[in-house]
Structure 1
Amino acid sequence: MNRSFVRTIAAASLLSIASLPLYAEEEMSDAMKSSHSAMEKAFNQESSKEEVFEPFDPDSPDFNPNGDDINAYFYAGLSREQSDDLDVWMVESGVRMLFDDNWSGRAHVLMFWDDRKSFLDGMNFGGSGALLYSVGSFDPDFSVRPVLGAGFYIADNGCEDTTTCDEDVTGGVFPEVGLSIITGGIELYGYTRYVFHPELDDGAQIGASIGYKL
Structure 2
Amino acid sequence: MENQEKESYMPRIGDQAPDFESITTTGKLVFSEYNKGSWVILFSHPADFTPVCTTEMTGFANEKDFFAAHQTKLMGLSIDSIHSHIAWVNAVYDKTGVLFEFPIIADIDMKVAKLYGMLQPGESETAAVRAVFIIDPMGKVRLVMYYPLSVGRNMEEIKRSLLALQTSDEYKVSLPLDWKPGDKVIIGAPRTVESLLERKASNLDMVDWYLAMKTL
TM range (shorter): under 0.3
For the pair shown, the structure with the greater C-alpha radius of gyration is 1
Q: Provide the TM-score with structure 1 as the length reference.
A: 0.21
Task: Name the one with the larger helix percent.
Answer: 2
Q: Provide the TM-score with structure 2 as the length reference.
A: 0.21
